[in-house]
Every structure is written in C-alpha cells, then in structure tokens.
A and B are shown apart, each in its own frame.
Chain A
Amino acid sequence: MMKNSVEVHDLVVVRGGREVLRSLDFTIGGGVTGLLGPSGCGKSTLMRALVGVQKLAGGTVRAFGTEAGNASLRDRIGYVTQAASVYDDLTAAENLTFFARVLGVGRAEVDAAVEAVDLADQRDQVVGRLSGGQRSRASLAVALLGKPDLLVLDEPTVGLDPVLRRDLWALFHRLADGGAAVFVSSHVMDEADRCDRLLLMREGRIIADGSPVEIRQKTGADDIESAFLAIVEAAA
C-alpha cells in the first residue's frame, strides 16, 4: 500500500478569534484529491496548513512523514495560492526562470512547465498584461518546477475557459500518474467528477470523504451538489 503523502490529525486553526478549521482528521494518498466547498469554508486555510505557512491552534499536519513546513519539504511541495503569486512586471519566462533558480532547477524545467500550462505563445509577455486565466496558469507553472511530490493547488481552474479547464485537469491526472499527489481545491461542484477522491468541506469541517461515486451512492444523489445538500440537511 502506498504511504500517505499527507496526514492531518485533529487540526484546529483559529483566525481572528474564529475557529476556521475545526478538528480535521484525514489523509491524502496518491491520485487527484479534490477539496470542494463554498467560498469561506476554510479551503485556503487548510491548504496553507499543508504547506506549512499557517499558524496552527492545535493538531498536527505531516507531509511525507515530516511536520509540514519543515525545511526538508520545501522543494518537494509545489504550492499555488488563490491569487496568482507571480511578479506582474516580469514576463512569464522571467518569473519561471527566477523561481527555477531559487529551487535550483535548470532551463529545461522552465520550458517543460511553460508547455505544460500551454503558455508557450505568451512566455515573453509581461504577466501583468496577460488575461486572468493566463496569469493563474503562469502561477501554476511555477508550482510544477522541480517535479514536486505533492502539489497543493488553491482553485487553479477558476474562471478558465472550459477547454483549458479540461486540459488542466488532464494535466493534474498526468502528474498524478507520474507519482505526485495532487490536492486541488474548487468551489465549483461540477469539477467533482474530475477527481479520484473528494473531500467535501463546509464551515471548517469535512462533511464527506470518498470517491465521487461513493459519495453519490451513499447519499442517493445524482450529482455532488445534491449530495452536498443531502449531507448538510441530514446533519441539520
């Protein structure tokens, strides 16, 4: 059996006096795991905790057996924040070259990342002049540098053209097939079926965990949105 890439135990995060994550327990293995839930349910905070940039109020988060945020993990995890974290006044290629130098990986990786997110035609354009979707793809490309073992992607497909969205999900599955664990969040329920496994989240809690088929069967719903509603109503 494959070792879990991420193990979260009794995780509590408090921000501004409010419990944003309430005692989460779960593990992430290989494949593409989707984290679905409405805006403000704590998805981004959870992702920050996995990467080790979030202060915890309790519990543990471990990646590859090591406490999240440990220096030895920093070149094994690719992280994309919700806002495109790239430099607007540099070109896509300059952004990637910079982050590649920080990671200590070569030019070939830059070219591969540009290809992977389909930005070859825009590589020499200043990022600030790209469309929103292109900017977030530039940000995604940075996370692919150095072939990380775990990808933590915060809403990477929001606002993208359906064709591109399909291509990106295909890319996530290719990365997962290559051995990386891919953890993707989304607030769009219809992306659920593109995941191997789902974590449904609401108000700081994980309310369902399983493959899309399992979750639909368990709730008798036709789609994940109805399943989500059924779970919330059953709990109320």
Chain B
Amino acid sequence: MSTHALPRSVTVGAPVTPRITLAVASRVLTQLRRDHRTLAMLLVLPCLLISLLWWMFDSIDSATFDRIGPALLAMFPFIVMFLVTSVTTLRERSSGTLERLLSMPMGKLDFLLGYAVAFGLVAAVQSALAVGLSVGLLGLEVAGPVWLLTLVAVADAVLGTALGLLVSAFAQTEFQAVQFMPLLVIPQILLCGLFVPRPLLPDVLEAVSNVLPLSYAVDAMQLLTRTAETGDVWQDLSVVAGFALAGLALGAATLRRRTA
C-alpha cells in the first residue's frame, strides 16, 4: 500500500494538532450525549443542590445563602468534573483505547486538551444554568459581571478535569479513582473559606489554604458577589488557571507511550 510514500501527518511531533484535539473533544461530547443519565446529573444536580441550600436558609437568614451560594458555584464544576474525568480517563487506560491512541499520531496534549475543552464546555452550560437560577430566581446578589462568574466556573471545571486526569494515573480501578476525592477534594472544601473565613484559620491551615486552588476560586466568586471591582477577581482567576495548566502538564507527564 504505497499511498504512504507521502507522509500524511506532517504534524508528527507537534505537541498540539487542532484537528486531533477537536476530534477528542467532540468524541467525548458525543459519548456524554449518549449517556442521558450522566448528562442530566451534570446539568440538573447543581441547580437542585443550590435550590436546596436556598430553601434551607431562606426563612432563617437569607444572608447566609448570599455567603455560601457563590462558594457552591465554584465547587460544583470542580467536584463534578474531577469525578467524571478521573473515571472516564481511567476507563480509557483500562479499555486499551488510550494505548491505541498513543500508538497513533496523537500528541499527549491533544488528548488532555480535548478532554479539557469538552468538559469546559459542559461546565460552561452547567454554570450558566446554576448561575442563572441563583441570580434570576433565588435572588443571589451579584455585584460584579455575571459572565465573569461563569468564566470562573469554567476555569474551575478545567481545574477539576486536570486533577482528575492526573489522579487517574495513580488509580488501578474506578473504585480507587473515586477514593481520591476525599483525599484531594474534601480538604480543599474544608479550607476554602466556606466554613471559617481563611484569615481566621490557624496560621498553618491558612498557609495550606493559600496553596490550594479551590481557595482562589471561592475567593473569586465571593468577590464577584460583593463588589463590582474585578481586579482581584482576575488575579484569583489566573491562579486557578495556573493550577489547571500545571495539572494538565503533570497529567501529560503521566501519559506514557511505553509502559511496563
């Protein structure tokens, strides 16, 4: 079969090929579209939980909802995408599809970015729904621009995706992958300022919370609800994005073409 005299993939060795990245992203989205139950959970569950929270505090003290609501908007995309990504990537590793893709002209970053793009899009829809519900129906006060709230949520989702990808390298089964959530996610929830404002934490814990990405995401959300000044929000957002990129880079390092 001499059609190969001309090398087809002139892009061999390039870290990212947009055609392949988009192929991965659209394939992930097609799979998600097939899975109605997961899709419904992804889109509806955050709305239900936010409504529950609103209901809990509505008659006692509506200021509490204004304080906790934004933190939840930061947490949902992070937690959900972490779980979904760690399980789906693990499935790619164990089913042999990843091995097959890595034996093809696909860059590791194509794979990772493809996932990040797909789940980032889902997160955008998920957050638009949750933010729309919170602001439109439940009366959450947002002083800053609402679109920026959604952007922070997308950055959070990509962060969750990046960590999920990374974790999947250290898990042999889906069961193990899910166990990483209490290890990596719950401490971030405890220390992100939701329960105790971060400046009031013991010094050591405050220092720890300063190096956890979710702290900055929650910070950004809370700033957006309190003030129209967006300078600090962008700073928080860039920290979250930095963590997400570092996670993706580390994730790429764990994707080995050659395994034992």
Contact = CB atoms under 8 A, between A and B. Distances in A.
Interface string B118-140: 00000000000000000000000
B1 A104 contact: no
A179 interface: yes
Contact of B106 (A102, A146, A147, A148): A102
Contacts of A87: 27, 31, 95, 97
A178 interface: yes
Most buried by A among B1, B30, B103, B258: B103
B257 A52 contact: yes
8 contacts: A52-B258, A55-B258, A55-B259, A71-B13, A74-B9, A102-B101, A104-B8, A104-B105
B12 interface: yes
A82 B95 CA distance: 10
B68 to A, nearest CB: 36
Interface stretch (A21-29, A93-101, A165-173, A191-199): A93-101
Contacts of A210: none
B99 A90 contact: no
A54 B100 CA distance: 12
Given A87-B97, A98-B27, A103-B104, 20 more contacts: A15-B260, A51-B103, A52-B103, A53-B102, A69-B258, A74-B12, A75-B9, A75-B105, A77-B103, A81-B100, A83-B95, A87-B31, A87-B95, A89-B31, A90-B31, A99-B104, A103-B8, A103-B105, A104-B9, A147-B1
Contacts, number: 106
A149 B100 contact: no
A85 B95 contact: yes
A76 interface: yes
Interface of B: 1-4, 7-9, 12-13, 19-20, 22-24, 27, 30-31, 34-35, 95-97, 99-106, 257-260
Nearest to B111: A102
List the 10 closest pairs (A to B, CB-CB), nearest first.
A85-B96, A101-B23, A147-B1, A81-B96, A74-B105, A98-B27, A85-B100, A71-B12, A55-B260, A85-B97
Nearest to A101: B23
Contact of B27 (A81, A88, A90, A126): A90
Contacts of A126: 34
Contacts of B100: 79, 81, 85, 99, 142
A92 to B, nearest CB: 13
A75 B27 CA distance: 20
A98 B20 CA distance: 9
Most buried by B among A101, A147, A175, A178: A101
A224 interface: no
A131 interface: no
A83 B92 CA distance: 12
Interface in A185-214: none
